[in-house]
Amino acid sequence: MTSERRPGPSVRLRVTELRDDVERGREDRVVTEEPLEIRLQWPGAPARRVWVTMRTPGHDFELAAGWAVHEGLAPAAPGAVHGVAYCTDVTLAPDQEFNVVTVTLDQAPTVLPHQHDALSAGSSACGVCGRDSVDSALTTTGPPWSAGLPSSEVVRGLPDALRAHQRVFDRTGGVHAAGLATAAGELLVVREDVGRHNAVDKVTGARLLAGEPVAGACLVVSGRAGFELVQKAVAVGTGALVAVGAPTSLAVDLARRAGLVLYGFASADRVVRYA
């Protein structure tokens, strides 16, 4: 496999800009959106496809590992994921060789991924599409966070802190971001992706593959707080979720029942606490 075929996070294009009835050709960058097929394997079992999502290439191994944890297919513990690698299936077309990854677990998952069969797929706007109720989401709840939560002053500063790390957004204006922060507001890891849920998967995967705790005092996201983002925070036991945008009713319901502190409309001037 050659690195020249590895897709990057953005693509250079020629575009036409129209301003004051004047057309001007120029170069622009748009965010890359390509499919990522995730396969799961454990001792004594062949690799099987469990999910396909549209994502921004980059940190693919983290995305796959984090997704497996959030879905309850792998525990959020060091060593649970034995390895992640691009698939070497000889039947893959050359332009797809970096779009298929296999997550190898150290043991069989306690819940088999039957709900994510070979026909399952998700768009870049789709998160935990297999979840159909708050009750089912609560079955993958991590231990409650008890190591301190950020103050309202820290919460108000998190969106600007996250924005300072959004390099792909600076170039394209087309990606979401997620970051894990301490109670003091220190960002431990930041990831970007065209899918908001993918960005959160990458954050958890980064911590897991680095051998660090996947839960934190606060998860901050650049967009709205949908149900799927609350579920991912709850699944690993993070203490609070801070969103720049609004939450949904189902997100608030799940946060309240799971004991997650949920903030929306966070900015330097104000923030609204919903749970």
Instruction: Dump pLDDT digits (tens) for 56-80.
Output: 999 999 999 999 999 989 988 888 8
Q: Determine how β-strand 34-41 pairs with β-strand 100-105.
A: parallel
Average pLDDT over the chain, rounded to an integer: 89
Lookup: tokens for 200:
């959160």
Q: What is the DSSP letter of 106?
A: S
Q: What SS3 class is residue 167?
A: helix
For domain 152-273, the CATH superfamily is Cytidine Deaminase, domain 2 (3.40.140.10)
The answer to whether 242 and 271 are in contact (CB under 8 A) is yes
d(CA 193, CA 32): 9
Element (DSSP H or E) covering residue 174? none
From 87, 126, 129, 218, the catalytic residue = 126
Instruction: Dump pLDDT digits (tens) for 151-162.
Output: 999 999 999 999
- Who has greater pLDDT, 85 or 117? 85
Mean pLDDT across 213-236: 96
In the annotation, is 218 catalytic? no
